[in-house]
Amino acid sequence: MSDQPAGTLRTMRYPVMRWLALTLILGMPLAGVIGIAWMSDAVSTRAAWAIVLPILGIIALFSAWHTLAAWRVLRSTDEIAGMGQRTTGSDWDALTMIGELGVTMERLRQTLLDEKGQVALQTTTADAILNALPDPVLLLDGRRTIARANFAARKFFGNDIVGNDLTVALRHPTVLDAADSVLSGETGMAAADLNLPVPDGRSFSVRVVALPAAREDTAAVLALHDLTSLRKAEKMRADFVANASHELRTPLASLVGFIETLLGPAKDDEPARIRFLGIMRDQAGRMSRLIQDLLSLSQIEMREHDQPSEVLALAPLLRDVAAALEPQAKAKQMQIRLDLNDAVAPVAGARDELMQVFQNLIDNAIKYGRAETQVEVRLGERDGGWIEVGIRDHGDGIPREHLPRLTERFYRVDSARSRDLGGTGLGLAIVKHIINRHRGRLVIESEMGKGSEFMVRMPGADRSR
């Protein structure tokens, strides 16, 4: 016994000494009464022992049962409360076991309250993290029921999806198969692709992952990553490469053909050489304009999020643009009519870029307007501090279904006519990106047979700041 640790000896002595103390405390009244009766000769010595011994045995058994039960409860509550090795009072202080049990229970209650607070804090933090995620996230229980959904998921699928089967939100077979394989324990993670035929088309990458410490109410997490923008960007890049290659291939093929002709059959044909060189100059100019527009568009896109800080008035700028394009208008017997309000507020903008915007728009109005008509350029203010420049032509108009796509790269309503007029298909795309950089908007209105109006709306310099 002497080789055992002091803690072990203490642990062994604690219930034994408490049992002896409780037995003595409960047996002392009986022993006192029997002793008084024996001393007064009310009972004999044999009768006194006959009464005392059985009753003391019963008291000892009861004390042992009570002490061991209380000791087990104390040990269990100490372990639950994380109190470790307890320190006790006097070995003879038997009646305080209930008091110690009360103290331990109070500590256990406080520990549980603290843990409950920690769980509530963790739950709140987890909800905040889930709601901050931009992609929809669903938590599924073992029966494939949606237990929780973050803000993005409720916004996308509706607020009433929680508590319903996954099929209420998603009916795509591959997604349901992925969820079932994870919930059944076949795999810890499954993925699927999801394409939704909504008006613009949405593409998602779906991943279902089993939770490591799964409970009945949360067995797996289903996350949807939106790939729509990425897929659209990939399609735009592919279309851009295809369109740019097509735009360059035609003039290049013409140049190669004419060069071979000049080096061969038309080597000594002076009239043919002069005519071919003129065509080659036009085709080279077309390629030069296309490359220049591509470079311009690339530079503007790089600066699109950097708002200009220069303050300038639009009326003098529009007069300069109209004067530069006046010879082109006269060639078609057209007139550029200006209706400019010089009192409008200035705007924050880059002069060269805004000149490019209005040159493109007025040039288009001249190209696509009817001969002997007017190109109307107006400048005024709108409610809310917006400055508006409107450029109207009197041409054939643009069909309504084409209006939303006019600012796409290489998009043309009439490809043959646009190429004949020297267009590259990038002018309105450049206009859109410049206006975006100036925090403005481009509004297009058109009526078949009556012409079109392109309106550039920009915030005044004070509002822009």
Quickly tell me which residue has 């403005």 as its tokens.
440
Q: Grade residue 54 by pLDDT with cuts at 50, 70 and 90.
A: confident
User: Using CA atoms, how far apart are residues 128 and 134, in angstroms rounded to an integer?
Assistant: 12
The β-bridge partners of 454 are 391, 444
The residue to which tokens 């055992």 are assigned: 4
Mean pLDDT, range 205-231, rounded to an integer: 81
Can you give the pLDDT at residue 270? 82
Beta partners for residue 191, in sequence order: 207
pLDDT given for residue 231 in this prediction: 79
- Whether the pLDDT of residue 205 is over 80: the answer is yes
3-state secondary structure of 335: strand
- Which range, of 39-48, 193-202, 401-410, averages the lowest pLDDT? 193-202
pLDDT score of 122: 67
Q: At what angle do helices 351-368 and 314-331 cross, to 10 degrees?
A: 30
Phi, psi for residue 219 in degrees, rounded to 5: -110, -25
Contact predicate 345/461, CB 8 Å? yes
Model pLDDT for residues 304-353, shown as the tens digit of each residue:
677 787 889 999 999 999 999 998 899 889 999 999 988 888 888 888 88
**CA–CA distance, 425 with 155 (Å, rounded to integer):** 38
- Our measurement of the distance from residue 55's CA atom to the centroid of its chain's CA atoms, rounded to an integer in Å, reads 78
Region 69-81: what's the mean pLDDT? 70
Residue 161 CB neighbour total at 10 angstroms: 19
Joined together, the tokens standing for residue 77 give: 């509550």
Closest C-alpha among 430, 397, 419, 194 to residue 299 = 430
Q: What is the mean pLDDT of residues 242-246?
A: 69
Q: How far is CA 122 from CA 116, 349, 452, in A?
A: 10, 49, 59
Nearest alpha carbon to residue 395 among 417, 422, 426, 416? 417
Joined tokens for residue 448? 């078949």
Q: Is the dihedral of CA 272, 273, 274, 275 positive or negative?
A: positive
Put simply, whether the predicted model's pTM sits higher than 0.75 gets the answer no
- Which pLDDT does position 265 carry in this prediction? 81
CA–centroid distance for 371 within its chain: 52
Q: What is the predicted pLDDT for the residue at 422?
A: 52
Contact 302, 439 (CB under 8 A): no
Q: Encode pLDDT of 256-300 as tens digits.
A: 888 888 888 877 788 888 888 888 887 888 788 778 777 777 777
Q: pLDDT value at position 320?
A: 92
Contact 414, 396 (CB under 8 A): no
SS3 label, residue 204 = strand
Average the pLDDT over 14-33 and give the result.
73
Helix/strand/coil for 348: strand
3-state class (DSSP) for residue 414: coil
Could you give the percent of the chain with pLDDT greater than 70? 81
Q: How far is CA 361 from its chain centroid?
A: 37
Q: pLDDT band at residue 362, thresholds of 50, 70 and 90?
A: very high
How far apart are the C-alpha atoms of 344 and 379, rounded to whole Å?
Answer: 8
Domains and CATH numbers, the chain: 6-111 (no CATH), 133-226 (3.30.450.20), 231-302 (1.10.287.130), 311-464 (3.30.565.10)
- pLDDT, position 456: 92
Between 242 and 132, where is the model more confident?
A: 132
